[in-house]
Every structure is written in C-alpha cells, then in structure tokens.
Amino acid sequence: MLLGVLGRLPLALARAVLAALRGRLSALCWELTPLVLPLFSWRRRSGCSPDTPAALREDKDETVPTPTSVNYHFTRQCNYKCGFCFHTAKTSFVLPLEEAKRGLAMLKEAGMEKINFSGGEPFLQDRGEFVGQLVQFCKKELKLPSVSIVSNGSLIRERWFKKYGEYLDILAISCDSFNEEVNVLIGRGQGKKNHVENLHKLRQWCRDYAVAFKINSVINRFNVEEDMNEQIKALNPVRWKVFQCLIIEGENSGEDALREADKFVISDEDFEQFLERHKDVPCLVPESNQKMRDSYLILDEYMRFLNCRNGRKEPSKSILDIGVEAAIKFSGFDEKMFLKRGGKYVWSKADMILDW
C-alpha cells in the first residue's frame, strides 16, 4: 500500500518521504542497540554464527579507534573524469541534509576533531550549498577544531567564500600538473576552462577570505617527470600533499570498476625520485601507497566506513544504523600509521600563522 501511494507522488516528494521514514527507523534501531548487542555477545561466547555482521561481533581484546579525523565522501558524482580516481560515480545517492548532520553529530560525540568533505566533487550538490551548510554546521554548531574540503575547484565561486568562508579552515585543491595538456590526459580537462589558471584564482580567494590553502597531487605516469618546484613555491600552500597513484579493486581496477588506473601506476622507485626532486619544498607531505591504504577513516555516501585492507573498499554498516563505535570496528583503520604519516597536524586556521 505504501509503495502504491509513493508511486503516485512526484519523484522529489517521494524521496523526501522515504528519507523521513528512514530517519525514524534509524532512530528506532539506535534506541534498540543496547538490546541487540548483548544478544550478539551471548552468541559469540556460545559459538558466534558466521552470519553475524562483522561490525557487531564483540571482541573484548579489540581496541576501538577514535575517529579523530574523518573523510566524508558524501557524493560520488563528479564533473571530471580522472583516470586514476579511486572513489568513482557508482551511485548518485546523497543523504538528506538533516541525516548527514545527525551522523556528523554522532561522530563529534565519539571524538571527531577534524572533518574533511570530499567526493566525487563536493560542489556539484546544490551548487555548493549542501557542503556549505555542512561546513557551517560543523564549525558553528559542533565547534569542530578543523573543517576542510577537497575539491577540483572548477565549480567554486567567490560568493561561496563570502557566505561560508569564515567556517572553513582548509580548502584543498587537486592539481596534478601545471601543464594543461597533461591535465587533459589525466582527465582534469573541462572544455575551455584552464585548470591551472583557476588554481591561482582560488589561491587569491583563500587569501581574501582567510581560508588556509592546500594542494593535493596524485603522482602518476603522466606527471612523474615534471618539475613543480617553482609553481608550488609561488602558490605557497600550507601543505602540498603528494600521493602515489593507488589501485583500488572495484573502483579503478577490475571488471566492475569505472576506471582503469593500471596505465597510470608508477613504481615505488619512480615515486621516490619525484620526492627527491622536490625535497626542498618545505610544505611537501608525501604519501606512498603503504601510508595511504589503512591510515584514513573514510565514510561513504551512506555514512559507512570503508575498509581498504584487502585492496578494495568493503563497507561497514552505516553509523546511522548501528552507531559509530560498532561501525568503526570494521573500518580497518590503522591509528598508528595515521599518526606516523603526520595525520594529526596544526589543522585549525585559528592556530596557523599565515600570510593571508
């Protein structure tokens, strides 16, 4: 009967009704969690069923990590087609705003200090209003020390900075090359728009609106020989995060993948040579495949932690359904590697000494 009623409603309204119902059910499940967890605990002691969800299996010897820094990929949709992308447009789902806020509040309660919004491209959803409202909520309501965004920068407008810039600590822009032809080969080309010219415009807006500016670069077969010293020093980001191109089964490799990143992969030796060439850049933060794979807490569009330990992304249950503590046990997060790679740093702009 419910499906029949929904079938007669406009699509947008039907989605809103379903989202509201899901929220009510999630809240009910959360209230019942204290009753459910002891049951699974009892089953474990008497021979836990193999069908028991991994995230709900109790292990008294297991240390539950704190979600100090979380990367929330709230959308998979993107306007670029980077060939090595490891979080591809497999769905078009985005949580309703209030559900996303509820999940972020749960993470704050569990110990989150930094949230990074990513995608896909975060500024695609509602022309940046969705991520803007989340940024404002996290800084103004949750009072998180650090709120950041990773974006390709192509859809950001100055009016966004005017409205939300005060709530954003760090804006990271993806730039893999200062040669526009290489950007096109990689998949960052977009018609007549120049990715590098746009990068400089965004750098100036970050100065104008007191947002710390960061650059992310993925080093691959098409840019590994490039010398970026002069350009990076001129832009003077607070951090230049340099990633080695990473293969994730099901995302950029394999039969069910939307990308084929094999042609972009470089050796460890090639990556080290690139780092050696740029060793005098003071803001350089290198991340090899080994450092990347298990040292990030990644939430997908359903607010599920993604475990990458087996070379592909295996999701937990959503934190909205089973809570943060139960879900994070399935994340595969290596807290020691997170600290070793410098995952915790001065990430609040209030604590930075910057020449805006």
pLDDT at site 98? 98
pLDDT at site 33? 39
Give the chain's domain count: 1
Query: 146 has which bridge partners?
Result: 114
Angular region, 254: left φ>0, alpha ψ -120 to 50, beta rest: left
Catalytic site residue 78? yes
Residue 58: both structure tokens together:
């109790």
Candidate list 29, 78, 206, 308, residue with the active-site label: 78
pLDDT tens digits, 128-143: 999 999 999 999 999 9
pLDDT at site 8? 53
CA dist., res. 204 & res. 72, Å (int):
26
- Band the pLDDT of 59: cuts 50, 70, 90: very low
Per cent of the chain over pLDDT 70 is 80
Give me the domain span that covers residue 274.
69-343
Catalytic site residue 82? yes
CA dist., res. 214 & res. 307, Å (int):
26
pLDDT tens digits, 147-191: 999 999 999 999 999 999 999 999 999 999 999 999 999 988 766
Stated pTM of the model: 0.80
More confident of the two residues 257 and 37: 257
Residue 269 has pLDDT above 50, yes or no: yes
Q: What is the CATH number of the domain that holds 82?
A: 3.20.20.70
Q: Are strands 314-318 and 304-307 parallel, antiparallel or unpaired?
A: antiparallel
Q: What is the mean pLDDT of residues 116-124?
A: 96
Candidate list 85, 138, 206, 308, residue with the active-site label: 85
**In this structure, is residue 124 part of a structural domain?**
yes
Tokens 């990074």, residue located: 116
Give every strand in the sheet of 146-151, ordered side by side: 284-287, 239-244, 212-219, 170-174, 146-151, 114-118, 69-73, 297-299, 304-307, 314-318
Helices (H) and strands (E) in the chain, counts: 13, 10
**In this structure, is residue 348 part of a structural domain?**
no
SS (H, E, C) 37-51: HHHHHHHHHCCCCCC
**In this structure, is residue 193 part of a structural domain?**
yes
**In this structure, is residue 33 part of a structural domain?**
no
The total number of residues shown for the chain amounts to: 356
Candidate list 29, 82, 175, 283, residue with the active-site label: 82
pLDDT tens digits, 307-320: 987 777 899 999 99
DSSP annotation string for 82-124: -TT-SS--S------HHHHHHHHHHHHHTT--EEEEESS-GGG
Helix-, strand-, coil-residue percentages of the chain, each rounded to 5: 45, 15, 40
Q: What is the mean pLDDT of residues 69-73?
A: 97
pLDDT at site 39? 29
**In this structure, is residue 5 part of a structural domain?**
no
Q: What is the mean pLDDT of residues 39-44?
A: 29
More confident of the two residues 286 and 55: 286
**What letter would DSSP give residue 253?**
B
**In this structure, is residue 206 part of a structural domain?**
yes
Tokens 């090359």, residue located: 177
- Band the pLDDT of 123: cuts 50, 70, 90: very high
- Band the pLDDT of 4: cuts 50, 70, 90: low
CA dist., res. 115 & res. 302, Å (int):
16
**In this structure, is residue 20 part of a structural domain?**
no
pLDDT at site 10? 53
**In this structure, is residue 61 part of a structural domain?**
no
The half-sphere exposure of 4 on its side-chain side, counting CA atoms within 13 A, is 1
- Band the pLDDT of 22: cuts 50, 70, 90: low
Highest mean pLDDT among 102-111, 248-257, 259-268: 102-111
Residue 281 has pLDDT above 80, yes or no: yes
Q: What is the mean pLDDT of residues 340-356?
A: 87
